[in-house]
Amino acid sequence: MEFIPLSVPSIQGNEKKYINECLDTEWVSSAGKYVDLFEEKIAEYTGAKYAIAVVNGTAALHIALIVAGVKPDDEVIVPTITFISPINVVKYCNADPIFMDADDYYNIDVEKTIEFIREATIFKNGFTYNKKTNKRISAIIPVHIFGNACYLDDLIDLCKKRNIKIIEDASESLGTSYTDGKYKGKHTGTLGDLGCLSFNGNKIITCGGGGMILTDNQKYANKVRYLTTQAKDDPVKYIHHEIGYNYRLTNIQAAMGVGQLEKLPEYLKIKKTNYLKYKQAIKLTRGVKLSDTPEYAESNYWMYCLQIDAKVYGKDRDELMSYLESEKIQSRPIWFLNHLQKPYNNYQTYKLERCYQLVERTLNIPASVNLSQEQQEYVIGVLKNGQK
Ligand SMILES: Cc1ncc(COP(=O)(O)O)c(C=O)c1O
């Protein structure tokens, strides 16, 4: 068996044709038909009123925080379980993170977050302040981890009352939508004040690198366009009234995105089929199982989480990872907890518990859309044989 990677892109559609068109027409930079088309198609697909294409998901989050009004010395609530990008952008704004625990779906623990806002903050002069630091809490970034939708109904109500802006990080959850609750039928990334997507190489669809900001608010959308194109007030005379950024997506990358987006419905089906197959088969091996996805949403099943009970299985996470590696299967632990990372180990945390167990017992296993049936059966067999 050839080495089986964790997650690689599949580029089998019209991507090359569209990219060649950019090259042939010499529309290669950060404007052009495909940038407009990609934005229109993402807006249409997600149901967002406005979609603005940017260079990557991190840039999307950075600009979303600025536009939402996050100022130096503010605080922003974030989950400790996530890729580090949504934490770093808080510091890009010279604000501080407050770290929250995770729920069973690896998402921010919404109940504890609500408890934190109710008990540990006060509302005065139209803003929410942290009782401990006296700093203003201006935003929260719920991250829809591995494609699992965060349940936001109650949090949105509270944040509206408390003037805390919600920036959804939907980098991993394009294609995920709610099937229950107040936001039934809506896509992740379209509930909060602003939502962010990533089209990095490991995401469900990719532009090589790319991102998108979603919003229903026209003022925010205009500001995003302005700031991501160097804040040009007069493009001919080079007049700039604010500090802008060179954050727009190129036509070439957008062309790839349009080609990939055409494949998304097919990819979603494959991801779900493979998830269900893994789930059924893996549960026959004692000590390992695939994590559940939320019952209130239709997930995009972007990444699969294998949960290991080391005592029952006979190998812990790291032992299993080495064993899989020796059998030519790539697996990976989930992210090192962000409140323990060197730049962030002095910031406030709130009742962190579940996050530790989740990290300790989870491995991501091969999830590419081009994972063959034979490869998947091989992974299942290796996992079964690995039990002591
Ligand atoms: C949850 C999350 N947020 C943000 C990002 C950043 O996106 P990008 O790599 O496009 O900057 C990623 C992935 O890369 C991610 O997984």
Alpha-carbon distances, residue 370 vs 198, 314, 352, 363, 374 (angstroms): 20, 31, 37, 20, 11
Closest-lying ligand 1 atom to the alpha carbon of residue 210: 10
* Cα 65 to ligand 1 centroid, rounded to whole Å: 15
Q: Are 80 and 100 in contact (CB under 8 A)?
A: yes
> What would the two tokens of residue 378 be?
């091989």
CA distance readout (Å), 232 to 222, 227, 344: 12, 8, 34
Residue 143 CA: nearest ligand 1 atom is 1
Domain boundary assignment for the chain: 15-260, 264-385
Cα–ligand 1 centroid distance for 166 (angstroms)? 17
**Ligand 1 center to 8 CA (angstroms):** 15
Q: Are 363 and 331 in contact (CB under 8 A)?
A: yes
Q: Which atom of ligand 1 is nearest to the CA of 56?
A: 10
In 3-state terms, the chain is what percent helix, strand and coil (to 5)?
40, 20, 40
CA 287, CA 171: separation in Å to the nearest integer?
31
Nearest one of 152, 383, 207, 165 to 288, comparing CA atoms: 383
- Specify whether the backbone of 126 is left (phi greater than 0), alpha (psi in -120 to 50) or beta: left
Class for the domain spanning 264-385: alpha beta
> Can you read off the two tokens belonging to residue 354?
């579940």
- The per-residue pLDDT for 117 is 98
Q: How far is the CA of 81 from the centre of ligand 1 (A)?
A: 13
Distance between CA atoms of residues 90 and 92, nearest Å: 5
Asked if 94 and 72 touch (Cβ cutoff 8 Å), the reply is yes
Q: Whose CA is nearest to atom 14 of ligand 1?
A: 200
Tell me which residues have their CB closer than 6 angstroms to ligand 1: 56-58, 82-83, 85-86, 143, 169, 171-172, 198, 200, 211
Architecture of domain 15-260: 3-Layer(aba) Sandwich (3.40)
Q: What angle do CA 180, 181, 184 make, to 5 degrees?
A: 60
Residue type for position 11? I
**pLDDT score, position 97:** 99
Q: Output the CA 211–ligand 1 centroid distance in Å.
A: 9
Q: pTM score, two decimals?
A: 0.98
Contact 5, 368 (CB under 8 A): yes
Report the DSSP pairing between strands 75-79 and 137-140: parallel
Please report the atom of ligand 1 found closest to the CA of residue 145. Answer: 1
- Mutating to test ligand 1, I would choose from 7, 78, 83 the residue with most ligand atoms within 8 A of its C-beta, which is 83
Let me know the angle formed at the C-alpha of 195 by 357 and 98, rounded to the nearest 5 degrees: 45
Cα 373 to averaged position of ligand 1 atoms, centre (Å): 29
* pLDDT the model gives residue 116: 98
Task: Please give the pLDDT value at position 388.
Answer: 83
The alpha carbon of 210 and the centre of ligand 1 are apart by a number of angstroms equal to 10
Residue type for 303, please?
Answer: M
pLDDT at residue 235 in the model: 84
Q: Tell me the CA–centroid distance for residue 203 and ligand 1, in Å.
A: 9
Question: For residue 386, what are the CA distances in angstroms to 7, 309, 327, 337, 341?
Answer: 22, 13, 10, 27, 32
The two most distant CA atoms of the chain are separated, in Å, by: 72
What 3-state DSSP class applies to 124?
Answer: strand
Instruction: Specify whether the CB–CB gap between 140 and 76 falls below 8 A.
Output: yes
Q: Are 92 and 230 in contact (CB under 8 A)?
A: no
Report the residue among 198, 256, 300, 335 best suited for mutation to probe ligand 1: largest number of ligand atoms under 8 A from its CB.
Answer: 198
181/316 Cα distance (integer angstroms): 37
pLDDT in tens, the chain (388 residues): 899 999 999 999 999 999 999 999 999 998 899 999 999 999 999 999 999 999 999 999 999 999 999 999 999 999 999 999 999 999 999 999 999 999 999 999 999 999 999 999 999 999 999 999 999 999 999 999 999 999 999 999 999 999 999 999 999 999 999 999 999 999 999 999 999 999 999 999 999 999 999 999 999 999 999 999 999 999 899 999 999 999 999 999 999 999 999 999 999 999 999 999 999 999 999 999 999 999 999 999 999 999 999 999 999 999 999 999 999 999 999 999 999 999 999 999 999 999 999 999 999 999 999 999 999 999 999 999 999 8
d(CA 305, CA 359): 10
